[in-house]
Structure 1
Amino acid sequence: MGFLSFGSKKDRMKKLIEEERFDEAMRLGLKDRKALDGLFELLDDPNPGIVGDALLLITNILREKPSVLKGQMNPETFRRLVSLMESRNPYVRENAMLLAYEAVKRFPELVSQNRKWIIDVISRGLREGSKDQKGFLLIVAGELGLSELRPLIEELVNVEDKVVLPFEGKKWVKLGDIAKETLERLA
């Protein structure tokens, strides 16, 4: 890398992803702000595989060193992640869920700045979303302590449909069981 770095590193990061050099992309994202910005730019790529991989890399960076993403995790970025959770592509959708979940856990100020909007989005999702989206939103509601959503959560307690979520122990779990766990967290 040259002494002065100008412009976006989106193309560089995309090439690393395409070549499956994820460790190198991660190292670069952790130390170079423009490379990290490039990963976020890739969230608009037309190739869902690139978008899903970029989401996964950002999640891993967040887990390893949350402070690197402090400036990136703002209301606009969070809203973008929520919109990616509605993707038709399951790889994009699951990785957007993972990143959004990690973001709400690590940046409580992001939640407090967007609480009303988050409640609106989650309540709409609990009414209209797919069963997998509902399962994810139940977990987030519990994590955030959104007791305002209790009536909607209670409606899902008896749902027998099984969901597949990108979390350990949340594969093929009844939606009603997740709703019950969420209500316990809100008690």
Structure 2
Amino acid sequence: MAFLSFGSKKGKVQKMLEESQFDLLLEDAVKNKKIREALFELLSSNNPGIVGDALLTITNLVESNPDVVKGHFNEDTFKKILGLIESRNPYVRENAMTLAYAVVKTYLDLLNKYRAWIVDELGKQLETGDKNQKGFALMIIGELGLSELSDKVREFVDVEDKVILPFEGKKWVKLGDIAKEALEKL
């Protein structure tokens, strides 16, 4: 009796991810809030493959049905996603970057609500992140027009280190070039 289904759908969603049933999962997630909640719960899984797949599925939801998933994004969710950008697992890290970028492009009103916190977090990424995390932070700073970080961005203009980001045209790009691009947008 599916209509009397109570509780978390975490197990069901994890099984669908493990069986690569992404299209069916997306369809179910659009219709069922508990499925969407389970996807966000799985961001805390100990299995990096599940976390990466959950990130990818949420990204697809943001891109295909932004209104359906918008209510699931809050400060804790943003913190979780930014934390996953620091993952040592490249599948998790790249999918977290892809989701964060999709959120930035789609939900400007939410980002304005959390602007002060985002400025702080991206500033920390510029100070303590690895070169790929710094490149990503520079890219997001430019996209969001976070002019309060322009001094920190300028510090990277002459950096020759190359980064690999999971975006078109952002493979083997100098940090300095990303910083210049960000400054043009500020």
Same fold (TM over 0.5): yes
What is the CA-CA distance between 1:119 and the residue it aligns to?
0.8
Does residue 44 of structure 1 match 2:40? no
Deviations 1:50-94 (A, max 9, x none): 000000000001100100112101112111111111111111111
Unpaired runs of 5+ residues, structure 1, are none
Kindly provide the amino acid, as one letter, of the partner of residue 4 in structure 2. Answer: L
Does residue 81 of structure 1 match 2:74? no
Q: Provide the C-alpha distance between the structure 2 equivalents of 1:83 and 1:109, rounded to a whole number of angstroms.
A: 22
Does residue 184 of structure 1 match 2:184? yes
Contact 1:13 1:39 in 2 (8 A): yes
Kindly provide the amino acid, as one letter, of the partner of residue 172 in structure 1. Answer: W
What is the CA-CA distance between 1:4 and the residue it aligns to?
2.6
Unpaired runs of 5+ residues, structure 2, are none
Partner of residue 124, structure 1: 124
Kindly provide the amino acid, as one letter, of the partner of residue 147 in structure 2. Answer: S
SS of the aligned residue for 1:3 comes to helix
SS of the aligned residue for 2:3 comes to coil
SS of the aligned residue for 1:76 comes to helix
Q: CA RMSD in A?
A: 1.1
Kindly provide the amino acid, as one letter, of the partner of residue 130 in structure 2. Answer: S
Structure 1 length normalisation: TM-score?
Answer: 0.95
Aligned ranges 1:25-104 → 2 under 5 Å = 25-104=25-104
Kindly provide the amino acid, as one letter, of the partner of residue 99 in structure 2. Answer: L
Q: Provide the C-alpha distance between the structure 1 equivalents of 2:69 and 2:3, rounded to a whole number of angstroms.
A: 23
Partner of residue 19, structure 1: 19
Partner of residue 136, structure 1: 136
Contact 1:75 1:113 in 2 (8 A): no
SS of the aligned residue for 2:5 comes to coil
Q: Provide the C-alpha distance between the structure 1 equivalents of 2:114 and 2:22, rounded to a whole number of angstroms.
A: 32
Higher mean alpha-carbon deviation, 35-44 vs 104-113, is at 104-113
Task: After the TM superposition, list the runs of 4 or more consecutive aligned residues in structure 1 that deviate by more than 3 angstroms.
Answer: none
Kindly provide the amino acid, as one letter, of the partner of residue 132 in structure 1. Answer: N
SS of the aligned residue for 1:88 comes to coil
- Report how many aligned residue pairs link the two structures: 186
Q: Provide the C-alpha distance between the structure 2 equivalents of 1:43 and 1:128, rounded to a whole number of angstroms.
A: 23
SS of the aligned residue for 1:59 comes to helix
SS of the aligned residue for 2:173 comes to strand
Kindly provide the amino acid, as one letter, of the partner of residue 145 in structure 1. Answer: G
Kindly provide the amino acid, as one letter, of the partner of residue 178 in structure 1. Answer: I
